[in-house]
Amino acid sequence: MRIYKFKRPTFILDIKSAILKALLKNKHKKNSITLKHNTIYVLPSTLGVYFSVVASLNFVMGINYQNNLILFMAYLMFVIIIFALLLGYSNARGLTVSFKYAIESFSPQAPQLVWQIEAADPCQSITLSYPNDLKNACYITRVKNEAIKCQLSLPYTKRGCYQIKPIKIASNYPFGLVNVWSYIQPNKVVYVYPSIIKTTNQKHQNLVANNTDEGTEKHKGDDEFESLITHLPEMGLQRISWKHYAKTQQLLVKQFSDFKSADAQFDFNLVTGDSEQRLGQLCFLVCQAFESDINYSLKLPNKLIASNSGKLHHQRCLQALSQVGNDNE
């Protein structure tokens, strides 16, 4: 029941996280956790504390007026608080939270973590939240026999690479009188890619758009006729060019070729603007290249990614872009 909001000084938060780190050891550094006695923490919530205060007030009133009914109500409240602690623990016990994968994002969008939540026994009111970010917490009313998937947004909107902090699995069941919680910390890094800036930089644009055969490598393919070669027995009869046979009485085979575009090279030094702008433009180029499925390499101030194509390469490039300047993280 926080009515007056005040901001806690940062050193308290630091101390808190240091204590947590020391206490939790590595119990929660897993990709999947099933809550049980040594990983569940139970304490009365703020409401629970207020509830106990009212119970004590009732007790004092009952004693002072020697009123059995008020006294009874006070005892009832005390018993219920203890029941709530037991209920809260039992509710969370057996809950399994597993980290599935991360959805990385372009700044200023926040990356998301995808979780799967299962429970042996029905489990109510579960909240997954990232430290200091209750706003985006992910709330699940009830987990029954089926597994539930949920997405948790992380509070990272700036370009970068972030180690995931311990994520709180909490429940206020029952009546919000207790806080039952645990942590899970997958050993995983999430990236926030630079925000995309459209660029018309000619040098790179040309490279992407240039599909002429000038200076490009030819691959065997079926787009363009290239030459006639002698038929070999293993080639099969269907490939023989009967037109040429009719003219020349030679068994010839048509050879075709693809024009594979030239490898694009995206260079940090070739785009203009400050470093964030440059990264944004590179990001745009990399994505465009990925969509057009061409080979590209990426040259960054202290890193060179060799030419390649495909999804993994694309991801590697984007991750490299997000890490520029903060390699320490």
Partner 1 sequence: MNEIKNHRVINFALSFIYLGLVSFFTEHLPLPFIAMLSVLCGWNIYLTVKQKQKPNAWFANGLAAIALIIMLSSIGFKDTVVLFVAMLLLSCVFKLLQAKSKQHYQLIITLTFFSLSAVYLFSQTIFTTLVISTFYILNFAVLGLLESSHSLKLSSKQSAKIMLLAFPLAVILLLFLPKLPAFWQLPGPKMAQTGLSEQVDPFDIAKLSNSDELVFRAKFNGTPPPTPYYWRAIVHDEFDGAAWKTSSFLKQALILPAKKSTSENEAQYTVIAEPAISDWLYGLGFSSSESPNVIANTLGLLRKQQYKSKVLQYAVNSEPLSSTSLNKSQQRFYSQLTVSNNQKSQQLAQQLKNNSANADEFFNQLLSYFSKNEFSYTLTPTPMRGENTLDQFMFTNKRGFCGHYASAAAFIFRSAGIPARVVSGYLGGELNKNSDYMTIRQYDAHAWVEVYTGAGWKIFDATAVVAPERLNGSLSQSTTLNDEFKNNINFGLVSLSNYAAINWLRLELENLDYQWSSWVLGFDKDKQQDLFATLFGNKFIWLVPLGVIIILILSFTTYFIYLNRPKAATKQPPLVNEYYEIIRWANKHAISYPENATPTQTLEHISNQAPHAEQQLTAFCELFKQVRYARHPFTKERKNQAKDLIKLIKSTKQRNL
Binding window for partner 1 (CB under 8 A); candidates: 133-141, 240-248, 269-277, 306-314? 133-141
Output the six-digit token pair for 107. 């700044």
**Residues of span 62-81 touching partner 1 by CB under 8 A:** 62-80
Question: From CA 106, how far away is CA 196, in angstroms rounded?
Answer: 7
Q: 180 vs 252, which CB is nearer to partner 1? A: 180
> What values do phi and psi take at 194, rounded to 5?
-60, 150
- Sequence-distant (6+) residues with CB within 8 A of 233 are none
Binding window for partner 1 (CB under 8 A); candidates: 98-106, 117-125, 149-157, 189-197? 117-125
Q: 70 vs 164, which CB is nearer to partner 1? A: 70
Bin 215: left if φ > 0, else alpha if -120 < ψ < 50, else beta. left
**Residues of span 275-314 touching partner 1 by CB under 8 A:** none
The binder of partner 1 chosen from 83, 98, 157, 226 (CB under 8 A): 83
Q: Is 209 helix (H, G, I), strand (E, B) or coil?
A: helix
Q: 28 vs 93, which CB is nearer to partner 1? A: 93
The binder of partner 1 chosen from 29, 136, 157, 176 (CB under 8 A): 176
The binder of partner 1 chosen from 175, 216, 228, 254 (CB under 8 A): 175
Q: 43 vs 120, which CB is nearer to partner 1? A: 120
Question: From CA 277, how far away is CA 288, in angstroms rounded?
Answer: 17
112 binds partner 1 (CB under 8 A): no
Site map for partner 1, 29-68, x if CB under 8 A?
Answer: ------------------x--xx--xx-xx-xxxxxxxxx
The binder of partner 1 chosen from 107, 112, 172, 182 (CB under 8 A): 172
Q: DSSP characters for 149-172?
A: EEEEE-S--SSEEEEPPPEEEEE-
**Residues of span 139-158 touching partner 1 by CB under 8 A:** 139, 141
Angle between helices 68-92 and 46-64 (to 10 degrees): 160
In the block, tokens 């599935």 appear at 100
- The residue length of the chain stands at 329
The binder of partner 1 chosen from 32, 34, 90, 308 (CB under 8 A): 90
Alpha helices in the chain (DSSP H): 10-24, 46-64, 68-92, 202-209, 242-248, 275-292, 311-323
Q: 122 vs 310, which CB is nearer to partner 1? A: 122
Number of residues that bind partner 1 (CB under 8 A): 53
- Sequence-distant (6+) residues with CB within 8 A of 48 are 81, 84, 176, 177, 178, 179
86 binds partner 1 (CB under 8 A): yes
Give me the residues that bind partner 1 (CB under 8 A), please: 1-3, 47, 50-51, 54-55, 57-58, 60-80, 82-83, 86-87, 89-90, 93, 120-121, 124-125, 127, 134, 137, 139, 141, 172-177
